[in-house]
Structure 1
Protein backbone atom coordinates (compact mmCIF):
# COMPACT_ATOMS: atom_id res chain seq x y z
CA UNK A 1 0.00 0.00 0.00
CA UNK A 2 1.24 3.47 -0.87
CA UNK A 3 1.15 5.86 2.08
CA UNK A 4 2.37 8.82 0.00
CA UNK A 5 1.49 9.25 -3.68
CA UNK A 6 3.04 12.22 -5.48
CA UNK A 7 1.76 12.56 -9.03
CA UNK A 8 2.78 15.00 -11.80
CA UNK A 9 4.08 17.44 -9.17
CA UNK A 10 5.53 20.76 -10.29
CA UNK A 11 7.18 22.89 -7.62
CA UNK A 12 8.41 26.47 -7.88
CA UNK A 13 10.53 28.23 -5.25
CA UNK A 14 11.29 31.97 -5.32
CA UNK A 15 9.84 32.07 -8.87
CA UNK A 16 12.31 29.39 -9.98
CA UNK A 17 10.97 26.00 -11.12
CA UNK A 18 12.57 23.21 -9.12
CA UNK A 19 11.02 20.31 -11.01
CA UNK A 20 8.00 19.47 -13.14
CA UNK A 21 5.74 16.40 -13.50
CA UNK A 22 7.52 14.52 -10.74
CA UNK A 23 6.09 11.15 -9.64
CA UNK A 24 6.99 9.44 -6.38
CA UNK A 25 5.41 6.77 -4.18
CA UNK A 26 6.29 5.78 -0.64
CA UNK A 27 5.15 2.32 0.39
CA UNK A 28 4.03 1.41 3.88
CA UNK A 29 6.98 0.30 6.02
CA UNK A 30 9.52 1.37 3.39
CA UNK A 31 12.57 3.58 3.88
CA UNK A 32 13.06 5.68 0.76
CA UNK A 33 16.23 7.77 0.55
CA UNK A 34 16.54 10.89 -1.56
CA UNK A 35 19.95 12.15 -2.67
CA UNK A 36 20.90 15.06 -4.88
CA UNK A 37 22.98 18.18 -5.16
CA UNK A 38 22.21 21.19 -2.97
CA UNK A 39 19.39 23.31 -4.33
CA UNK A 40 17.64 20.66 -6.44
CA UNK A 41 14.58 20.67 -4.18
CA UNK A 42 14.99 17.70 -1.81
CA UNK A 43 13.93 19.58 1.31
CA UNK A 44 11.25 21.43 -0.65
CA UNK A 45 9.76 18.08 -1.70
CA UNK A 46 9.67 16.99 1.95
CA UNK A 47 8.02 20.25 2.95
CA UNK A 48 5.47 19.86 0.17
CA UNK A 49 4.59 16.35 1.38
CA UNK A 50 4.24 17.75 4.90
CA UNK A 51 1.80 20.38 3.61
CA UNK A 52 4.20 23.29 4.21
CA UNK A 53 4.73 24.36 0.59
CA UNK A 54 1.19 24.51 -0.82
CA UNK A 55 1.78 27.92 -2.42
CA UNK A 56 4.82 26.56 -4.27
CA UNK A 57 2.87 23.74 -5.93
CA UNK A 58 1.94 24.84 -9.45
CA UNK A 59 0.61 21.50 -10.72
CA UNK A 60 0.02 17.91 -9.67
CA UNK A 61 -1.12 16.35 -6.41
CA UNK A 62 0.14 14.82 -3.16
CA UNK A 63 -2.09 12.20 -1.58
CA UNK A 64 -1.42 10.94 1.95
CA UNK A 65 -3.07 7.74 3.12
CA UNK A 66 -6.14 8.77 5.16
CA UNK A 67 -5.65 8.86 8.94
CA UNK A 68 -1.87 8.54 8.60
CA UNK A 69 0.06 11.04 10.73
CA UNK A 70 3.29 12.72 9.61
CA UNK A 71 6.23 13.69 11.84
CA UNK A 72 9.41 15.60 10.98
CA UNK A 73 12.99 14.90 12.10
CA UNK A 74 15.32 17.67 10.94
CA UNK A 75 19.03 18.46 11.01
CA UNK A 76 18.40 21.07 13.69
CA UNK A 77 17.07 19.34 16.80
CA UNK A 78 14.68 22.19 17.61
CA UNK A 79 14.83 21.63 21.37
CA UNK A 80 13.38 24.39 23.53
CA UNK A 81 16.12 25.47 25.99
CA UNK A 82 13.64 26.59 28.67
CA UNK A 83 12.02 23.13 28.81
CA UNK A 84 13.49 20.10 30.52
CA UNK A 85 14.15 16.96 28.49
CA UNK A 86 10.89 15.28 29.42
CA UNK A 87 8.82 18.30 28.37
CA UNK A 88 10.81 18.59 25.13
CA UNK A 89 9.89 14.99 24.33
CA UNK A 90 6.22 15.48 25.19
CA UNK A 91 6.20 18.85 23.42
CA UNK A 92 2.99 18.17 21.49
CA UNK A 93 1.16 17.56 24.74
CA UNK A 94 2.90 20.49 26.43
CA UNK A 95 1.68 22.86 23.71
CA UNK A 96 -1.82 21.37 23.51
CA UNK A 97 -2.37 21.37 27.24
CA UNK A 98 -2.80 17.58 27.26
CA UNK A 99 0.28 16.82 29.33
CA UNK A 100 -0.41 14.44 32.22
CA UNK A 101 1.18 11.68 34.26
CA UNK A 102 0.68 9.17 31.43
CA UNK A 103 2.37 11.31 28.77
CA UNK A 104 5.21 12.07 31.19
CA UNK A 105 5.75 8.36 31.79
CA UNK A 106 5.73 7.71 28.05
CA UNK A 107 8.29 10.49 27.45
CA UNK A 108 10.50 9.09 30.19
CA UNK A 109 10.32 5.61 28.67
CA UNK A 110 11.33 6.98 25.26
CA UNK A 111 14.29 8.85 26.76
CA UNK A 112 15.45 5.54 28.22
CA UNK A 113 15.00 3.88 24.82
CA UNK A 114 17.27 6.43 23.13
CA UNK A 115 19.91 6.05 25.85
CA UNK A 116 19.41 9.35 27.67
CA UNK A 117 18.60 7.99 31.15
CA UNK A 118 21.88 9.33 32.61
CA UNK A 119 21.26 12.86 31.34
CA UNK A 120 17.68 13.56 32.43
CA UNK A 121 18.80 16.20 34.94
CA UNK A 122 20.74 18.24 32.38
CA UNK A 123 19.47 21.38 30.64
CA UNK A 124 19.59 21.29 26.84
CA UNK A 125 22.68 23.50 26.61
CA UNK A 126 24.76 20.90 28.43
CA UNK A 127 23.98 18.17 25.90
CA UNK A 128 26.24 17.21 23.00
CA UNK A 129 24.94 17.32 19.44
CA UNK A 130 24.39 13.58 19.43
CA UNK A 131 22.55 13.69 22.76
CA UNK A 132 20.30 16.49 21.53
CA UNK A 133 19.45 14.50 18.43
CA UNK A 134 18.59 11.50 20.60
CA UNK A 135 16.08 13.69 22.43
CA UNK A 136 14.71 14.88 19.08
CA UNK A 137 14.31 11.25 18.00
CA UNK A 138 12.40 10.50 21.22
CA UNK A 139 10.16 13.52 20.56
CA UNK A 140 9.46 12.19 17.06
CA UNK A 141 8.52 8.79 18.47
CA UNK A 142 6.26 10.49 21.01
CA UNK A 143 4.10 11.79 18.17
CA UNK A 144 3.19 8.20 17.18
CA UNK A 145 3.25 9.14 13.50
CA UNK A 146 3.01 6.64 10.68
CA UNK A 147 5.19 8.57 8.23
CA UNK A 148 8.49 10.19 9.23
CA UNK A 149 10.10 12.84 7.02
CA UNK A 150 13.81 13.03 7.86
CA UNK A 151 15.80 16.00 6.53
CA UNK A 152 19.50 15.24 7.06
CA UNK A 153 18.98 14.54 10.77
CA UNK A 154 22.50 13.17 11.35
CA UNK A 155 24.59 15.34 9.02
CA UNK A 156 25.96 17.66 11.73
CA UNK A 157 27.28 14.80 13.87
CA UNK A 158 30.73 13.26 13.96
CA UNK A 159 31.24 10.00 12.08
CA UNK A 160 30.93 7.62 15.06
CA UNK A 161 27.90 9.40 16.56
CA UNK A 162 26.27 9.45 13.12
CA UNK A 163 26.60 5.67 12.81
CA UNK A 164 25.23 5.19 16.33
CA UNK A 165 22.19 7.38 15.60
CA UNK A 166 21.61 5.61 12.28
CA UNK A 167 21.55 2.28 14.14
CA UNK A 168 19.22 3.66 16.81
CA UNK A 169 16.82 5.18 14.27
CA UNK A 170 16.89 1.96 12.25
CA UNK A 171 15.84 0.02 15.36
CA UNK A 172 13.20 2.37 16.80
CA UNK A 173 11.65 3.45 13.50
CA UNK A 174 11.85 0.04 11.82
CA UNK A 175 8.10 -0.28 11.22
CA UNK A 176 7.54 3.32 10.12
CA UNK A 177 7.35 4.64 6.56
CA UNK A 178 10.40 6.88 6.09
CA UNK A 179 11.46 9.43 3.50
CA UNK A 180 15.05 10.41 4.27
CA UNK A 181 16.94 13.25 2.61
CA UNK A 182 20.70 12.92 2.89
CA UNK A 183 23.91 14.06 1.23
CA UNK A 184 25.75 11.01 2.57
CA UNK A 185 25.92 8.06 0.14
CA UNK A 186 27.09 5.75 2.92
CA UNK A 187 24.04 6.64 5.03
CA UNK A 188 21.79 6.05 2.03
CA UNK A 189 23.25 2.60 1.43
CA UNK A 190 23.02 1.63 5.12
CA UNK A 191 19.41 2.74 5.66
CA UNK A 192 17.50 2.88 2.40
CA UNK A 193 15.21 0.27 0.89
CA UNK A 194 14.98 2.36 -2.26
CA UNK A 195 17.55 4.97 -3.30
CA UNK A 196 16.50 7.88 -5.49
CA UNK A 197 18.50 10.64 -7.17
CA UNK A 198 16.83 14.05 -7.57
CA UNK A 199 18.35 15.95 -10.49
CA UNK A 200 18.11 19.45 -11.93
CA UNK A 201 16.95 18.21 -15.34
CA UNK A 202 14.49 15.60 -16.61
CA UNK A 203 14.02 12.89 -15.57
CA UNK A 204 14.08 14.76 -12.29
CA UNK A 205 13.68 11.72 -10.05
CA UNK A 206 15.24 8.39 -10.85
CA UNK A 207 15.36 5.15 -8.86
CA UNK A 208 18.97 4.05 -8.59
CA UNK A 209 18.59 0.77 -6.73
CA UNK A 210 16.47 -1.18 -4.23
CA UNK A 211 17.59 -3.34 -1.31
CA UNK A 212 15.91 -6.29 0.33
CA UNK A 213 18.33 -6.88 3.23
CA UNK A 214 17.53 -5.78 6.79
CA UNK A 215 18.64 -2.29 7.83
CA UNK A 216 20.93 -0.83 8.99
CA UNK A 217 23.28 -2.84 6.80
CA UNK A 218 26.78 -3.95 7.57
CA UNK A 219 29.43 -2.62 5.24
CA UNK A 220 30.46 -5.03 2.47
CA UNK A 221 32.35 -4.65 -0.79
CA UNK A 222 29.20 -4.46 -2.93
CA UNK A 223 27.89 -1.57 -0.86
CA UNK A 224 31.21 0.25 -1.21
CA UNK A 225 30.90 -0.07 -4.98
CA UNK A 226 27.37 1.33 -4.85
CA UNK A 227 28.57 4.23 -2.72
CA UNK A 228 31.15 5.06 -5.37
CA UNK A 229 28.44 4.84 -8.04
CA UNK A 230 26.28 7.28 -6.07
CA UNK A 231 29.16 9.73 -5.71
CA UNK A 232 29.93 9.50 -9.42
CA UNK A 233 26.32 10.17 -10.40
CA UNK A 234 26.07 13.13 -8.03
CA UNK A 235 29.23 14.57 -9.55
CA UNK A 236 27.90 14.11 -13.06
CA UNK A 237 24.65 15.89 -12.11
CA UNK A 238 26.69 18.96 -11.15
CA UNK A 239 28.19 19.37 -14.61
Structure 2
Protein backbone atom coordinates (compact mmCIF):
# COMPACT_ATOMS: atom_id res chain seq x y z
CA UNK A 1 0.00 0.00 0.00
CA UNK A 2 1.33 3.44 -0.92
CA UNK A 3 1.79 6.33 1.51
CA UNK A 4 -0.05 9.47 0.53
CA UNK A 5 0.15 13.02 1.81
CA UNK A 6 -3.13 14.85 1.29
CA UNK A 7 -3.12 18.66 1.57
CA UNK A 8 -0.58 18.57 4.40
CA UNK A 9 0.34 21.84 6.09
CA UNK A 10 2.81 22.45 8.89
CA UNK A 11 4.08 25.60 10.58
CA UNK A 12 6.53 26.22 13.40
CA UNK A 13 5.46 29.41 15.09
CA UNK A 14 5.06 32.00 12.36
CA UNK A 15 7.17 30.05 9.87
CA UNK A 16 5.03 28.12 7.39
CA UNK A 17 7.07 25.10 6.28
CA UNK A 18 4.54 23.03 4.30
CA UNK A 19 1.33 24.38 2.83
CA UNK A 20 -1.34 22.18 1.26
CA UNK A 21 1.20 19.61 0.04
CA UNK A 22 0.00 16.42 -1.66
CA UNK A 23 2.22 13.58 -2.87
CA UNK A 24 2.13 9.79 -3.17
CA UNK A 25 4.98 7.39 -2.45
CA UNK A 26 4.30 3.98 -3.96
CA UNK A 27 5.10 0.81 -2.06
CA UNK A 28 8.62 -0.33 -2.89
CA UNK A 29 9.50 2.97 -4.57
CA UNK A 30 12.77 4.84 -4.01
CA UNK A 31 12.30 8.62 -3.88
CA UNK A 32 14.79 11.44 -3.36
CA UNK A 33 13.08 14.41 -1.74
CA UNK A 34 14.90 17.56 -2.79
CA UNK A 35 14.54 21.32 -2.44
CA UNK A 36 16.28 24.32 -0.98
CA UNK A 37 16.94 24.58 2.75
CA UNK A 38 13.90 25.54 4.76
CA UNK A 39 11.29 24.11 2.40
CA UNK A 40 10.43 21.29 4.80
CA UNK A 41 12.22 18.17 3.52
CA UNK A 42 13.01 16.82 6.99
CA UNK A 43 9.61 17.93 8.29
CA UNK A 44 7.93 15.98 5.49
CA UNK A 45 9.88 12.85 6.47
CA UNK A 46 9.02 13.27 10.15
CA UNK A 47 5.33 13.67 9.30
CA UNK A 48 5.41 10.49 7.18
CA UNK A 49 7.01 8.61 10.11
CA UNK A 50 4.49 10.01 12.60
CA UNK A 51 7.12 11.97 14.55
CA UNK A 52 5.37 15.26 13.73
CA UNK A 53 1.65 15.88 13.32
CA UNK A 54 0.50 18.06 10.43
CA UNK A 55 -1.48 21.16 11.33
CA UNK A 56 -3.89 20.31 8.52
CA UNK A 57 -4.31 17.52 5.99
CA UNK A 58 -3.69 13.81 6.41
CA UNK A 59 -1.19 11.01 5.87
CA UNK A 60 -2.75 7.86 4.44
CA UNK A 61 -1.26 4.40 4.30
CA UNK A 62 1.38 4.82 7.01
CA UNK A 63 -0.58 3.21 9.84
CA UNK A 64 0.79 -0.20 10.77
CA UNK A 65 3.97 0.22 8.74
CA UNK A 66 7.36 -0.26 10.39
CA UNK A 67 9.81 2.62 9.91
CA UNK A 68 13.58 2.80 10.19
CA UNK A 69 15.59 5.98 9.80
CA UNK A 70 19.05 7.47 9.64
CA UNK A 71 18.63 11.06 10.79
CA UNK A 72 20.93 13.98 10.01
CA UNK A 73 22.51 13.38 13.42
CA UNK A 74 23.94 9.87 13.69
CA UNK A 75 22.31 9.23 17.10
CA UNK A 76 24.61 6.34 17.92
CA UNK A 77 25.20 4.89 21.39
CA UNK A 78 28.72 6.24 21.94
CA UNK A 79 29.98 3.58 24.34
CA UNK A 80 28.91 0.70 22.11
CA UNK A 81 30.86 -0.62 19.14
CA UNK A 82 29.47 -0.56 15.61
CA UNK A 83 28.38 -4.16 16.17
CA UNK A 84 26.74 -3.20 19.44
CA UNK A 85 24.85 -0.33 17.83
CA UNK A 86 23.45 -2.62 15.14
CA UNK A 87 22.39 -5.21 17.71
CA UNK A 88 20.88 -2.51 19.91
CA UNK A 89 18.64 -1.39 17.05
CA UNK A 90 18.05 -4.66 15.24
CA UNK A 91 18.01 -7.24 18.02
CA UNK A 92 20.06 -10.30 18.87
CA UNK A 93 18.78 -12.12 15.78
CA UNK A 94 21.27 -10.13 13.68
CA UNK A 95 24.04 -12.68 13.19
CA UNK A 96 27.81 -12.13 12.92
CA UNK A 97 28.21 -13.18 9.24
CA UNK A 98 25.47 -10.81 8.11
CA UNK A 99 26.97 -7.92 10.07
CA UNK A 100 30.47 -8.68 8.79
CA UNK A 101 29.21 -8.68 5.21
CA UNK A 102 27.43 -5.35 5.74
CA UNK A 103 30.46 -3.67 7.31
CA UNK A 104 32.73 -4.87 4.52
CA UNK A 105 30.27 -3.65 1.87
CA UNK A 106 30.56 -0.06 3.12
CA UNK A 107 34.31 -0.18 3.75
CA UNK A 108 34.46 -0.65 7.53
CA UNK A 109 37.24 -2.98 8.71
CA UNK A 110 37.00 -5.55 11.53
CA UNK A 111 39.20 -3.22 13.61
CA UNK A 112 36.83 -0.30 13.01
CA UNK A 113 33.71 -2.13 14.09
CA UNK A 114 35.14 -3.39 17.39
CA UNK A 115 35.90 0.13 18.69
CA UNK A 116 33.38 2.26 20.59
CA UNK A 117 31.76 4.41 17.92
CA UNK A 118 32.89 7.50 19.83
CA UNK A 119 36.40 6.73 18.57
CA UNK A 120 35.41 6.53 14.89
CA UNK A 121 35.68 9.28 12.30
CA UNK A 122 32.59 11.19 11.16
CA UNK A 123 32.41 9.24 7.90
CA UNK A 124 32.74 5.90 9.70
CA UNK A 125 30.03 6.87 12.17
CA UNK A 126 27.77 7.89 9.29
CA UNK A 127 28.12 4.47 7.72
CA UNK A 128 27.26 2.75 11.01
CA UNK A 129 24.11 4.90 11.29
CA UNK A 130 23.20 4.05 7.72
CA UNK A 131 23.64 0.31 8.27
CA UNK A 132 21.60 0.46 11.46
CA UNK A 133 18.64 1.86 9.50
CA UNK A 134 19.04 -0.47 6.54
CA UNK A 135 19.31 -3.64 8.62
CA UNK A 136 16.36 -2.93 10.88
CA UNK A 137 13.14 -4.83 10.11
CA UNK A 138 11.13 -2.08 8.40
CA UNK A 139 8.66 -1.49 5.60
CA UNK A 140 9.80 2.10 5.01
CA UNK A 141 13.39 3.36 5.30
CA UNK A 142 13.97 7.11 5.66
CA UNK A 143 17.50 8.43 5.12
CA UNK A 144 18.17 12.11 5.83
CA UNK A 145 21.35 13.30 4.05
CA UNK A 146 22.67 9.72 4.22
CA UNK A 147 26.03 10.27 2.53
CA UNK A 148 27.18 13.48 4.21
CA UNK A 149 30.83 13.38 5.26
CA UNK A 150 31.66 10.49 2.92
CA UNK A 151 34.34 10.67 0.25
CA UNK A 152 33.39 9.62 -3.27
CA UNK A 153 34.48 5.98 -2.93
CA UNK A 154 32.63 5.55 0.37
CA UNK A 155 29.58 7.31 -1.07
CA UNK A 156 29.48 4.98 -4.06
CA UNK A 157 29.84 1.90 -1.84
CA UNK A 158 27.20 3.09 0.62
CA UNK A 159 24.74 3.92 -2.17
CA UNK A 160 25.22 0.49 -3.73
CA UNK A 161 24.45 -1.12 -0.39
CA UNK A 162 21.33 1.03 0.04
CA UNK A 163 20.06 -0.17 -3.34
CA UNK A 164 20.78 -3.75 -2.42
CA UNK A 165 19.05 -3.49 0.95
CA UNK A 166 15.99 -1.63 -0.30
CA UNK A 167 14.66 -5.02 -1.40
CA UNK A 168 11.13 -3.90 -2.23
CA UNK A 169 10.82 -1.53 0.71
CA UNK A 170 9.81 2.10 0.30
CA UNK A 171 12.85 4.37 0.49
CA UNK A 172 12.69 8.10 1.16
CA UNK A 173 16.04 9.87 0.83
CA UNK A 174 16.23 13.51 1.94
CA UNK A 175 19.13 15.09 0.07
CA UNK A 176 20.67 18.23 -1.41
CA UNK A 177 22.89 16.23 -3.75
CA UNK A 178 21.63 16.02 -7.33
CA UNK A 179 23.66 12.87 -7.98
CA UNK A 180 22.05 10.84 -5.20
CA UNK A 181 18.96 10.01 -7.25
CA UNK A 182 21.06 8.41 -9.98
CA UNK A 183 23.13 6.51 -7.43
CA UNK A 184 19.98 5.15 -5.80
CA UNK A 185 17.89 4.65 -8.94
CA UNK A 186 15.33 6.92 -7.34
CA UNK A 187 12.56 9.19 -8.53
CA UNK A 188 13.09 12.86 -7.66
CA UNK A 189 10.37 14.73 -5.81
CA UNK A 190 11.26 18.42 -5.60
CA UNK A 191 9.46 20.25 -2.84
CA UNK A 192 7.73 23.23 -4.42
CA UNK A 193 7.84 26.71 -2.97
CA UNK A 194 5.01 27.49 -0.56
CA UNK A 195 3.00 29.33 -3.21
CA UNK A 196 3.23 26.37 -5.56
CA UNK A 197 2.25 23.96 -2.78
CA UNK A 198 -0.91 25.96 -2.23
CA UNK A 199 -1.85 25.50 -5.87
CA UNK A 200 -1.96 21.73 -5.19
CA UNK A 201 1.00 20.21 -6.94
Q: Shared fold by TM > 0.5?
A: yes
**RMSD after superposition:** 2.4
1:163 equivalent in structure 2 = 156
Larger radius of gyration: 1
1:83 equivalent in structure 2 = 80
Which string of whole-angstrom CA distances, capped at 9 and with x for unpartnered residues, describes residues 129-150 of structure 1?
3332332233223421010111
Q: What is the distance in 2 between the residues matched to 1:154 and 1:80?
A: 20
1:78/1:135 Cα in 2 relative to 1: closer, same or farther (>3 Å)? Answer: same
Report if aligned partners of 1:198, 1:205 keep a CA contact under 8 Å in 2. no
Secondary structure at the residue paired with 1:22?
Answer: strand
Deviation at 1:65, TM superposition (A): 4.2
1:211 equivalent in structure 2 = none
1:92/1:189 Cα in 2 relative to 1: closer, same or farther (>3 Å)? Answer: closer
1:175 aligns with 2:168: yes
1:118 equivalent in structure 2 = 110
Correspondent of 1:109 among 92, 98, 104: 98
Q: What is the distance in 2 between the residues matched to 1:178 and 1:79?
A: 21
1:37/1:151 Cα in 2 relative to 1: closer, same or farther (>3 Å)? Answer: same
Which structure has more relative contact order (CA 8 Å, sep 6+)? It is 2
Which runs of at least 4 in structure 1 moved beyond 6 Å after TM superposition? none
1:41 equivalent in structure 2 = 40
Report if aligned partners of 2:19, 2:194 keep a CA contact under 8 Å in 1. no
1:197 aligns with 2:194: no
Unpaired runs of 5+ residues, structure 1, are 94-98, 207-239
TM-score relative to the length of structure 2: 0.85
1:143 equivalent in structure 2 = 136
Report if aligned partners of 1:33, 1:194 keep a CA contact under 8 Å in 2. yes
Deviation at 1:40, TM superposition (A): 0.7
1:205/1:172 Cα in 2 relative to 1: closer, same or farther (>3 Å)? Answer: farther
Secondary structure at the residue paired with 1:148?
Answer: strand
Deviation at 1:105, TM superposition (A): 4.5
Q: What is the distance in 2 between the residues matched to 1:189 and 1:151?
A: 16
